[in-house]
Amino acid sequence: MIRLFNHKNILITGGTGSFGKKFIEIVLKKYAPKKVIVFSRDELKQFEMQQVFSGSCMRYFIGDVRDEARLKQAMYQVDYVVHAAALKQVPAAEYNPMECIKTNINGAQNVINASIAAGVKKVIALSTDKAANPINLYGATKLASDKLFTAGNNLVGDRETRFAVVRYGNVVGSRGSVVPFFKKLIAEGAAELPITDPRMTRFWLQLEDGVEFVLKSFERMQGGEIFIPKIPSMRITDLAEAVAPHLPIKVIGIRPGEKLHEVMCPADLYYDTLEFSDHFVIRPSTLLFGVDYTKNMLGEEGQLVSDGFSYDSGTNPNFLTVEELREMNP
């Protein structure tokens, strides 16, 4: 493994979230960074995190990605940035659209501007399957964010800063997701589990795998890519059975802005989608001069997918069984 982060300064926006905590845990275990900077809004979450991650390399910056000046202060001498800060609750975004736009779109551009100004080497922004063919406000803001980051490379001139995006699906047990919700209902003695539609499927990923994929993407990236891991799908009915086999399900109807199936590589972009052994790459719409995206910085080679190819949670060849879901959700 390339010791990419040894003796380097790393900043993670939204660093007190599920991803941020796991990312920092794994980075501190695998590497010897000079500084790890948590950049987030909530002082209580930072205080709680300081009880766990208190090493001499840790720094905690109170700040909002809406504040470009504060980002520039925090990024002084930073080598690598992970942009994980976002407003991500679909119903909240539908009700408060402008707040979601301020954080997810304006905040993305602020991260780009600050990274270039600070001379950051590489930036990876986290995306979501909801950004592919979006039907809700959250997904639309993340698509806009993806476009900002992949186009951010056009702004750097002769500087070395490079931007890429990692897109993946639902994370097992992340804050605000369905598994903690189900477990809360079970603990409260619920007589049934509510599901929106029995046909629903989702891409399913463990947090550690998401972090490892981001770390690998730092090594693979040339700039402008959207990296998408090959991960399994799950059926919501199978998940309910895995978590509470003794409880019946109650169909409550699909929520505003929700899809039956999620997409990570849209069929309309098949001509820019490359398949590698364990992941896909969507090339940027404005290609970087002299970059061959069929071969990444690790020397791995990919090929264009077939006409009309779509990476869809409903047609994914790899589905988790009830037993596998139970193992993933102890």
Q: Rg (Cα) of the chain, in Å, rounded? A: 20
User: 49-76 burial string, b = 16+ CB within 10 Å, else e?
Assistant: beeebeeebbebbebbbeebebbeebbe
Catalytic residue, candidates 8, 21, 130, 216: 130
4 vs 39 pLDDT, higher one: 39
For 271-282, what is the mean pLDDT?
98
**DSSP SS3 for 279:** strand
Side chain identity at 18, as an amino acid letter?
S
Residue 243 has, within 13 A of its CA and on its CB side, a CA count of 27
Q: Which domains does the chain have, with CATH numbers?
A: 9-169+206-230+263-310 (3.40.50.720)
21: annotated active-site residue: no
Token output for 270: 């098949």
What's the pTM value of the predicted model, to 2 decimals? 0.95
CA 65 to the chain's CA centroid: 16
78-87, 179-188, 249-258: which has the highest mean pLDDT? 78-87
Is pLDDT of 4 > 70? yes
Is pLDDT of 101 > 60? yes
Q: What is the predicted pLDDT for the residue at 176?
A: 67
* 51/53 Cα distance (integer angstroms): 6
Q: Mean pLDDT in the chain? A: 95
Token output for 210: 């998401």
330 vs 209 pLDDT, higher one: 209
Q: What is the predicted pLDDT for the residue at 289?
A: 81
List residues bridging with 205 in a β-sheet: 171
**DSSP SS3 for 228:** strand
Is pLDDT of 183 > 80? yes
Q: Where are the beta strands (DSSP E) in the chain?
A: 9-13, 35-40, 58-62, 80-83, 122-126, 162-166, 170-171, 193-195, 201-205, 226-229, 233-235, 249-251, 263-265, 273-275, 279-282, 303-304, 311-312
pLDDT band at 2 (very low <50, low <70, confident <90, very high): low
For 65-93, what is the mean pLDDT?
96
Is pLDDT of 276 > 80? yes
Of 48-57, 218-227, 246-255, 313-322, which range is least confident?
246-255
pLDDT tens profile 234-271 = 999 999 999 999 899 999 998 888 899 999 999 999 99
Q: What is the predicted pLDDT for the residue at 1?
A: 47
Is pLDDT of 23 > 80? yes
